[in-house]
């Protein structure tokens, strides 16, 4: 394999690996934040401290609100639309059986469908809370 072939393999691999690593770090941060919140509640209950239900409810709504699902859904839909727009405006030459524009369109469906799912979850959560 020459340098050109290695570059064709390594560049997409590095880009997608960086995206996966970034998503993993974001999810790890959110997990640790929620775990610290639950540990704080547990320590308070062990010390027999008085925690009014309103305080717990307000903090819980900060972590688990339907608005967060709506924001995630809108962000993922915008991300999907931007990948679709890039695929539409970029004119990649066809090499063999691979058409990069079609591949990007396929890749854009994942965040788009996830965004629709988050928006649906936010809507169901709001209907359930009424």
Which strand (E) or helix (H) includes residue 79?
helix 66-89
For the chain, domain boundaries: 1-51, 65-130
Query: pLDDT for 20-37, tens place per residue?
Result: 888 889 889 988 988 888
Task: Give the model's pLDDT for residue 77.
Answer: 92
Full-prediction pTM beyond 0.75?
no
Q: How confident is the model at residue 66 (pLDDT cuts 50, 70, 90)?
A: low
Cα distances (Å, whole numbers) of residue 122 to 27, 63, 125: 19, 14, 5
Token pair, residue 79, equals: 């991300």
Which of helix, strand or coil describes residue 25? helix
Burial of 23 per CB tally in 10 Å (0-12, 13-18, 19+): exposed
Query: pLDDT for 67-114, tens place per residue?
Result: 778 888 898 899 899 888 888 887 777 766 767 778 888 888 988 999
């Amino acid at each position: 394999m020459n340098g050109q072939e290695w570059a064709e393999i390594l560049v997409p691999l590095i880009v997608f690996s960086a995206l996966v690593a970034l998503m993993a770090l974001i999810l790890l941060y959110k997990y640790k934040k929620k775990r610290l919140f639950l540990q704080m509640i547990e320590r308070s209950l062990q010390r027999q401290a008085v925690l009014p239900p309103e305080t717990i409810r307000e903090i819980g709504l900060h972590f688990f609100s339907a608005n967060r699902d709506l924001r995630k859904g809108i962000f993922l839909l915008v991300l999907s639309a931007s990948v679709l727009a890039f695929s539409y405006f970029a004119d990649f030459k066809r090499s063999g059986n691979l058409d990069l524009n079609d591949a990007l369109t396929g890749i854009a469906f994942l965040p788009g469908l996830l965004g629709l799912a988050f928006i649906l979850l936010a809507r169901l959560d709001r209907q359930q809370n009424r």
